[in-house]
A and B are shown apart, each in its own frame.
Chain A
Amino acid sequence: GIQVEQSPPDLILQEGANSTLRCNFSDSVNNLQWFHQNPWGQLINLFYIPSGTKQNGRLSATTVATERYSLLYISSSQTTDSGVYFCAVEPVGNAGNMLTFGGGTRLMVKP
C-alpha cells in the first residue's frame, strides 16, 4: 500500500516562531488532508489539499502532487497549536475517503 512519511517526528518551538512540516508519499494521490490532533485527542481537519496552495489564517499548505509531497506552514505559533499534526492521503484509483495516515509530527509550543 501507499507509504506516508512525515517529518520531523517531533518539534519544539518558542511561541511566535514559524515552522514547516513535511509529508512525503510514495504514490500518486487524489486526496490529501491535514489534521491537527489537539491534546484532548480531537482530530480537526485543517486542509483538504490534493494539489496547489491554500491558506487559513496563520496556517497554509502546499501540495506538489507531481513530486509527491505536501508542506504545512505554521506562522507565529501559539501554545494552542500544540498537538500532533497528521497528513493523510488516498491513492489514485481509490474513490472515497479511505485515508492512509502518516505517523504524525508532534509539536510543542512553549510560552
Chain B
Amino acid sequence: DSGVTQTPKHLITATGQRVTLRCSPRSGDLSVYWYQQSLDQGLQFLIQYYNGEERAKGNILERFSAQQFPDLHSELNLSSLELGDSALYFCASSAGGWNEKLFFGSGTQLSVL
C-alpha cells in the first residue's frame, strides 16, 4: 500500500458527462500529481499541485481541470467526456515536489460509453 488513496476505483459514464476523481496523498506529502494511462498514449503527466497551488502542467486537455484543497486532497474534474477519455487515471504524491520518489495510488479506471 503506497498510502495514496484514490476514489472511485471504477467509473462508467456516458459521452458528454462530467465526472470528478478524488485523491488523498500520503500523510505529510505536499505535492499531488495526476497521470493518465491509455493504450495508445501510454502514461502521461497531466498536472501537479504543490501545497494548494498549481505548479506544473503537462498534456492536460482544456476540458479537464484540477485543484488541491487546504487539507491537501486533490480532485480531477473531467467534463464533456469523449470516448477517447477512457483511461486509467492515477494520482501520485511526493514530499516536496522536486526530484524525489513518486508514490502512486491504485488508479481510477474510467470508461466512457
Interface residues of A (CB under 8 A from B): 30-31, 33, 35, 40-45, 48, 50, 86, 88, 90, 94-101, 103-104
Query: CB-CB < 8 A to B107: which residues of A?
Result: 41-43
Summarize A's interface: helix, strand, loop or mixed. Answer: strand
Summarize B's interface: helix, strand, loop or mixed. Answer: strand
Interface residues on B, range: 20 to 34
| CB contact under 8 A between A97 and B33, given known A41-B88, A50-B99 | yes
Q: Kindly identify which residue among A44, A90, A101 contacts B43, using a CB–CB cutoff of 8 Å.
A: A101
Asked if B18 lies at the interface with its beta carbon under 8 angstroms from chain A, I say no
| CB contact under 8 A between A90 and B103, given known A96-B48, A97-B31, A98-B45 | no
Of residues 82 through 111 on chain B, the ones whose CB sits less than 8 Å from some CB of chain A are 88, 90, 92, 94, 97-104, 106-107, 109
